[in-house]
Amino acid sequence: MEWMIRNINMEEIDQFASILKEAAEWLKRTNKEMWYTSELTKEALLEKYALNELFIGFLNGESAGTIIVQEQDHIFWPHENKNDALYLHKIAIRRKYAKEGVSVNLIDWAKQQAKMQLKKYIRLDCAADRPNLCYFYECQGFQQVGQKTVGEFFVALYEYQV
């Protein structure tokens, strides 16, 4: 299997959004709703994230998953602005590639990026009421370092030491 992750260009924003929407629809169908589809439009994504923060993972030349990588997260990690971490968001996989290790590959790639950029940590947040999701991140070496409520979301805060 040939695996590649790269930053998207403007022509690929619809493809990026379609992966997120596909994942969101599956989550909703399985009663695990996580994201509002209104926040997954091309316009909403570009309003919230810089284009250079959006990445697609390709498996054998086909888009398989997404990951957003930021240098700061003022919403969930407002007091951690030491420029010593990467922050991960919206890791999503096309259903066609479920159980193919795409999520692990995306996270491993982020770990390599953090190491190359001399970051000390990778941080992320996820729904605290999703034990399977929390367990997945723990299996990838992340440690839960807290929980908090932000707006209507109760999240677990995870950190990986690079």
- Supply the pLDDT for residue 50: 97
pLDDT, one tens digit per residue, over 81-139 is: 789 999 999 999 999 999 999 999 999 999 999 999 999 999 999 999 999 999 999 99
pLDDT reading at 145 higher than 80: yes
Is-contact 57 45, C-beta < 8 A? no
d(CA 159, CA 22): 27
Is-contact 38 44, C-beta < 8 A? yes
- Site of tokens 């370092």: 145
- Supply the pLDDT for residue 1: 80
pTM: 0.95
pLDDT, one tens digit per residue, over 42-87 is: 999 999 999 999 999 999 999 999 999 999 999 999 988 789 999 9
For the record, the structure tokens of 55 come out as 């990445």
Q: Average the pLDDT over 136-156 and give the result.
A: 96
Half-sphere exposure of 99 (CA within 13 A, CB side): 1
| Least confidently predicted of 6-20, 31-45, 138-152 | 31-45
d(CA 80, CA 72): 8
Side chain identity at 66, as an amino acid letter?
A: T
- Supply the pLDDT for residue 49: 97
Is-contact 35 20, C-beta < 8 A? yes
CA-based torsion, 88, 90, 39, 56: positive or negative: positive
CA-based torsion, 142, 143, 149, 152: positive or negative: positive
pLDDT reading at 34 higher than 90: no
> Domains in the chain, ordered, with CATH?
3-161 (3.40.630.30)
Strands 121-127 and 143-150: unpaired
